[in-house]
Structure 1
Amino acid sequence: MSAPDEGRAPLAAEDEERWVAYVRADHRTGTVAALAGVFATRGVNFDSLAGSPGSRVPAADGTVEPGLVVVTFWATPRRQRLLTRSVERLAAVRRVQVRSAGHPDVRAAAVVRLPARSTFRPPDDSAVRWTGEPQGQGPLLVEGRLADVEAVLDAAEAAGAVASAVVLEPLPPAELMAEASTSILDEVHDGAGGRAGGGLPFRDAAEAVREDRDRR
């Protein structure tokens, strides 16, 4: 994922924060354009937008893994929530998850090439994984939290290094599953709100929610 041309932290209003949106969407023509349009019509510029295809081979149940689009942008918390709801309404979108750019789950990787005989080392307070030998001529891989990776890149560039684009990694699968379960719980409780009498086993209620999602 490419960083902005003018630094990795462009100027923003005092009440704006930097966010990372992970959008799972079907393989359809115009999906990325529709996603970009949501931001454009609301006057929000994104730092970067990158996508990766899901599996094109159907699973045993016939389903196909959706692709992933990762967007970094600046917005107030309120506008971020409005953007998220608008993106969720797009026909091709399956799931949207948003994190503050400083959240520990937001992880990234980047490639750095140091000049010959460089003695550069990542700052001691940077919790990154540094793969490669700085004295060598090959590229070095930096992995870790987004904020830590960007701090290392800034320090490396100050030492004469050339850094490639920053690539944001998908959220941990375990967290995706936990959030999906929480979302279903919320929908089940919301759907049951205001109803008097009767009962429905949780398993049946959760299945009904999933079927309703599939029809949307």
Structure 2
Amino acid sequence: MLLTTKIKLKLSEQDAMTLEFMQSKCRALYNWQVMQLRGGATWNLYEAKKSLHASKIYDPELKHVYGKLLQEVFFRLDKAMTAFFQRVKAGETAGFPRVRPRHCFFTLCYPASYLKIEGNTVILPTGGKGKKNKRYPNVRAHLTETPPQAFKEVAISRDGRGDYYASFVAERHEEAQQKGHVVAFDLGIKTLATGINEQGRMYHVGGFKG
């Protein structure tokens, strides 16, 4: 199963501005695609990803957003459209994907292999190749807790108070259930609870007086 560890970040003012810039551009790209669909366009993930080049020509500032974040926009919308079609097929209330409001932070998802962690600092890449083409330096965010050692991706978010967080998503293998360590309890009236384990041993928890 997947386990998420959410850790608060400490950022410089410049790094916070960089995250705000990238999330706003990702949100705008997402909303543009949604409005195209609402206008009658058909959804195709492959064709949508191909349109990114044209979007960068229309809005050159997209070049300053890390490419993997822009790609994630299309995958996120693809999941939303897949869920929409499944609801339609099941005869449920469809709920077409909505545009994301400006006041809501558009979560930025980084694959684990595309970021670095140095001690308690996570380094988040930005767009542009080489120092000359980078308007925004890579974000260096201080983690207030020790991050997990193995994780699949990191989701950067911001809450209503303006605090930033990094959510580390990791795979956790469930341990096999050990025999003899399960007790089933039945709640009672005179006796608060009566339990029995796999070996037939009984447990009694005293009731209330009154």
Q: TM-score range by the shorter chain?
A: under 0.3
Max Rg structure: 2
Q: TM-score, normalised by structure 2?
A: 0.23
Which fold has the larger relative contact order, with Cα–Cα distance below 8 Å and residues 6 or more apart in sequence? Answer: 2
